[in-house]
Structure 1
Amino acid sequence: MSQARPPGRPLLASTLGFLGLFAGMLLIAEGRRWLPPDPPAVTPAQDAADLKPGSQAAVQDTRPGEPARKIAEDLIAPPPLDPSGIERIEPRPPLGELGLAPRPKTPMPRDWRETLLFRPVATSSAVFEAMGHTVAISGTIGIDPDGTCTFDNTAWPCGQRARAAFNAWLRGRALKCLLPPDADRFAIAAPCALGRQDVGAWLVSNGWAMAAPTGLYGKAEAVAREARMGIFGPPQ
């Protein structure tokens, strides 16, 4: 036989449940009062400004709830620069001779061929004629046959002496020169060799010709001047 439930018990349970829910809400509301405030929202533009070097935001510690304080501003932020105090100076010289090396030689055209020229005759200290060709030794500056040189206030016919020295060295032997196909129609400047000896190097190193500004014989001329050889020395 079932026993009847007192009519007031369900109402009491509902009332207690409601009071418990209300008390919980009060505790949550009271707890939020003690939490720190949420940090302000940062827009993308403000975020980019904070990351910019030297900006005010980049050198400050912005902790929530605390005043901003600067951190090593003199080390992080760039110092002020006055453009009027900048002075342009000349570049330093090269550390070695490699920085002064001449540009590589321009390659000869493909139709130029090595040609043997027999019985050459010097017409000046750096020009000769052979087999209908007139060839000037490239990379050199010759002395006119009528030219004179002065050594210790004494003038002497160095042009004639230089031409004679060139002819004595040639002795009618064949020169091998790099010539274009139509070299017989006009005078041409070309590199030549006597056997394995570079003709231009021999002339300049012995002082019978000068080095062209864009040539390869600048050091050879300096040696000849220092040794007072050929046109740089006494009468011969």
Structure 2
Amino acid sequence: MMGRALGEVKSTGRLATTLGGLGLVAGALLIAASSRWLPSYPPAQEAAEARPAPRLPVHDMRPGQPARRIAEDLIAPPPLDPSGIERIEPRPPLGELGLAAPPETSMPQDWHETLLYRPVAISSAIVEAMGRKVAISGTVDIDPARTCSFDDAVWPCGQRARAAFNAWLRGRALKCVLPPDGDRFAIAAPCMLGKQDVGAWLVANGWAMASPSGIYGKAEAVARDARMGIFGPPQ
């Protein structure tokens, strides 16, 4: 009985081995047959290299060489007659933001801010203090002997301008940029009264005129339009 059982086990093992081998062979034949009917695709990189690149217009980038023109029969520049071209004046600026600021007057290296106590105006834009005589830079002084006319009235505008300057100063100290040594002649210098520009105040109120090379031209125009100071009626 034992021998018969061993013989049946051996026969079953040989049958399983035979069936496994037949399965492998059948699978290989099936794969080979199916590969004949499936389309083959090249890799993505090879496919991209195989496609021809589109031709783009290329311009001659060498220095001094004009660009190649394209589709001149479809897109052509309009004919221009030089005799019909007229040069016109540039458009004025829309505002003052785009205008260049006037250059500031450079001072010598040895000039420095100096406090002048108890200043007295001797004319509309000249003060004396502490033995110095200072003309406010950027302004044109109004002589005390000058008279102005408004409509049919004539009035001593020079004296009025000097009085207005003294009334505004009220003996308060001026801070001016001056050289270290005093001079018997008037020195043109910028001055401040607190945080107020003295030249700007004089011109804006019409008690002095703006220097042609100064920075107060607009202030004088405003004073003229508003009839301030010497540009207005007697005061």
TM-score, with length taken from structure 1? 0.63
Per-residue Cα deviation, 1:150-170 (whole angstroms, up to 9, x for no partner): 111211110011111112222
Counterpart CA distance in 2 for 1:79 and 1:233 is 58
Counterpart CA distance in 2 for 1:163 and 1:175 is 16
Aligned to 1:198: 197
Aligned to 2:110: 111
User: Structure 2: which amino acid aligns with 1:168?
Assistant: A
User: Structure 2: which amino acid aligns with 1:171?
Assistant: R
Counterparts in 2 of 1:121-132, with a 5 A limit? 121-132=120-131
1:136 is paired with a residue of what secondary structure?
A: strand
- State the Cα distance separating 1:182 from its structure 2 match: 3.5
Aligned to 2:15: none
Unaligned runs of 5+ in 2: 1-61
CA 1:173–1:96 in structure 2 vs 1: closer, same or farther (change >3 Å)? closer
Counterpart CA distance in 2 for 1:219 and 1:158 is 21
- Kindly indicate whether the alpha-carbon contact (under 8 Å) linking 2:204 and 2:222 is maintained by their aligned counterparts in 1: yes
- Kindly indicate whether the alpha-carbon contact (under 8 Å) linking 2:102 and 2:215 is maintained by their aligned counterparts in 1: no
2:86 is paired with a residue of what secondary structure?
A: coil
Counterpart CA distance in 2 for 1:90 and 1:178 is 41
Aligned to 2:73: 73
Counterpart CA distance in 2 for 1:192 and 1:136 is 9
Q: How many residues align?
A: 172
Counterpart CA distance in 2 for 1:218 and 1:111 is 29
- State the Cα distance separating 1:202 from its structure 2 match: 1.8
- State the Cα distance separating 1:187 from its structure 2 match: 1.9
- State the Cα distance separating 1:53 from its structure 2 match: 5.9
2:183 is paired with a residue of what secondary structure?
A: helix
User: Structure 2: which amino acid aligns with 1:145?
Assistant: P
Counterpart CA distance in 2 for 1:147 and 1:230 is 13
Per-residue Cα deviation, 1:131-163 (whole angstroms, up to 9, x for no partner): 221111011112111111111121111001111
Aligned to 1:63: none
| Root-mean-square deviation over aligned CA pairs | 2.6
Unaligned runs of 5+ in 1: 1-47, 60-70
Aligned to 2:167: 168
TM-score, with length taken from structure 2? 0.63
Counterparts in 2 of 1:214-233, with a 5 A limit? 214-233=213-232
Aligned to 2:53: none
